[in-house]
Amino acid sequence: MLLLVGLGNPGSEYARNRHNIGFMAVDEIVRRHGFGPWRKRFQGQSCDGNVGPEKVIALKPGTFMNLSGQSVGEAMRFFKILPSQVVVIHDDLDLAPGKVRVKQGGGHGGHNGLRSIDDHIGKDYWRIRLGIGHPGHKDQVHGYVLHDFSKTEQAWVEPLLDTVAKEFPLIAEGQPDKFSTRVGMAA
């Protein structure tokens, strides 16, 4: 069993923000792989389905980004799973737009959603980092991540989300390197 977590902020006003690319990716995985309906639980929205032979619980925390760990910790305890069975998809300012990196463990890199998850479950979970680029100066970061992707950015956002969803079975099968390669080739 895997707990697939998309990071973002709840509410329609945030739906297309750069900071919500984790929610967008999970939505596309859920759609592509025919998961059941979303329902309120674990301080967020969750649904489940199968990706290949693996049961996957998808979770979008409703706690806002900075408190994401509360929701993730609650779901983990309910399903009695380990951090190594958690896959978090999130935005990454330090990666070029459209680039993807996968790793287990590591630091939060200043990302408040990851910081919260680290505080609640430790650092040994999987991260799928989706590059959104950097605005150029640290004073511009807050406004940048809380604004929608531009029309020109949609040229890489939609294909990226489609490829992540299409290749997600490789993550479920325990092949993160192959996932990274396939997503990277499509970028």
Q: Calculate what percentage of the chain has a pLDDT beyond 70.
A: 99
Q: Which domains are present in the chain?
A: 2-186 (3.40.50.1470)
Two structure tokens written together for 33 = 């792989």
Q: Which of 19, 33, 111, 120 is catalytic?
A: 19
Sequence-separated (6 or more) residues with CB below 8 Å from residue 88: 5, 6, 7, 22, 72, 113, 114, 117, 125, 126, 127, 128
User: 9 with 90: CB under 8 angstroms?
Assistant: no
Q: Rounded to an integer, what is the distance from CA 132 to the centroid of its chain? A: 13
Average pLDDT, the chain: 94
Residues across the chain: 187
35 SS3 class: coil
Residue 187 confidence (pLDDT): 66
Give the residue carrying structure tokens 């979970």.
Answer: 125
Handedness of CA 79, 24, 131, 9 (dihedral sign): negative
36-84, pLDDT tens digit by residue? 999 999 999 999 999 988 999 999 999 999 999 999 999 999 999 999 9
Q: Is 111 a catalytic residue?
A: no
Residue 184 confidence (pLDDT): 85
Q: Rounded distance, CA 94 to CA 53, Å?
A: 34
- Write out residues in the chain with pLDDT < 70, as ranges: 187
Q: Rounded distance, CA 181 to CA 178, Å?
A: 5
Candidates 111, 115, 78, 117; CA nearest to 92 is 111
Give the strand order in the sheet containing 44-51. Answer: 39-41, 44-51, 54-61, 2-6, 86-92, 126-131, 100-104
